[in-house]
Amino acid sequence: MKDTVFPSSRQATNGGAAAAKPSFPATKSQLYGATRPLYRPQPKPHRYRRSCCCSCCIWTTVTILILLLLAGVSAAILTLIYSPHRPTFTVSSLKVSTLKITSSSKLITNITLNVNAKNPNKELIYIYDPIAISLTTKNDVVMANGSFGPFVHGTKNNTLLKATISGGSQELDDSSAGELRVALKNKKGLPLKMKLDTKVKAKIGGLKTPKVGIRVICEGIKVTVPNGKSPSKASISNAKCKVDLRVKIWRWTF
């Protein structure tokens, strides 16, 4: 009986190790194990830059608040020392040389105006830019406009401002022209409002404030149509002027 000899399993294992085939399909550890980067914990970002910015913002805010506080204290001291007063304006005279409405609804006016400006302060000087003048009716129809020149308003001083203003032959709409014709026939006169607009800065010694807006509104003026070549005088006995002024150094509002 013929004996069948089988090769030793140890020899097959030792001899065929180089030719052994990998298992299929490949496992995840075989696919990614060789190329997967090692995990390295990232260092935490430095926060000193953010802290520096916050500190700069805080110190800037504190500095601004301190400067504002010092400015307020200085303003209070100046107010107590100099006791500043607002300027006053009054209408001295107003004469109408021409006041008529043409058949084509054009308004033609020529008016001479005098305004007295008073500075009651002992130490405070006002420096005015050119002053725009506007005369209007209660319905905001512009009767005339013009301007006063710039001037320096000295301490404890009264300055007389003079100007001749006109309407510039403006054309009115039918409604405005009709209402104005009726109003001009009133014997009590046509009520007008005067508005002055300019910029002014104040000066105390070597200290000057920035320029700020000032508006003067005068009401209670009544005009009539001139008779012939003689100009008519406006009624100004009840005229009162209100000054709206804001100076930043003292924060005035009148």
Q: According to the 3-state scheme, what is the secondary structure of 143-159?
A: EEEEEECCEEECCCEEE
Partners of 203 in beta bridges: 125, 208
Residue 71 vs residue 253, higher pLDDT: 71
* Residue 14 in this model has a pLDDT that exceeds 80: no
What are the tens digits of pLDDT across the range 189-207?
A: 999 999 999 999 989 888 8
Integer Cα distance of 147 and 97 in angstroms? 18
Integer Cα distance of 90 and 161 in angstroms? 10
- Quick one: average pLDDT of 233-243? 94
% of the chain at pLDDT higher than 70: 71
Residue 155 vs residue 169, higher pLDDT: 155
Look at residue 62 in the predicted model and tell me its pLDDT: 83
* Residue 251 in this model has a pLDDT that exceeds 50: no
- Name 154's Cβ contacts closer than 8 Å, sequence gap at least 6: 119, 125
- Cβ–Cβ under 8 Å, residues 108 and 167: yes
Structure tokens at 115: 């305004």
What are the tens digits of pLDDT across the range 122-148?
A: 889 999 999 999 999 988 899 999 999
- Name 231's Cβ contacts closer than 8 Å, sequence gap at least 6: 95, 96, 97, 112
Integer Cα distance of 96 and 189 in angstroms? 12
Here the contacts of 247-250 (C-beta below 8 Å, separation 24 or greater) are 247/202, 247/209, 247/212, 248/209, 248/210, 248/212, 249/71, 249/75, 249/78, 249/202, 249/209, 250/75, 250/78, 250/79, 250/84
Lowest-pLDDT range, 19-28, 92-101, 118-127?
A: 19-28
Q: At 169, is the pLDDT very low, low, confident or very high (cuts 50, 70, 90)? A: confident
Q: Is this model's pTM higher than 0.75 or not?
A: no
- Quick one: average pLDDT of 6-32? 51
Look at residue 195 in the predicted model and tell me its pLDDT: 96
Q: At 246, is the pLDDT very low, low, confident or very high (cuts 50, 70, 90)? A: low
Q: What is the DSSP letter of 209?
A: P
Structure tokens at 213: 């807006």
Look at residue 1 in the predicted model and tell me its pLDDT: 47
Lowest-pLDDT range, 34-38, 163-167, 174-178, 210-214?
A: 34-38
- Quick one: average pLDDT of 57-73? 81
Residue 128 vs residue 24, higher pLDDT: 128
Closest to 78 in 3D by CA, of 204, 201, 206, 210:
204
Integer Cα distance of 155 and 250 in angstroms? 18
For the chain, the straight-line distance linking the first and the last C-alpha, in angstroms and rounded, comes to: 138
* Residue 231 in this model has a pLDDT that exceeds 90: yes
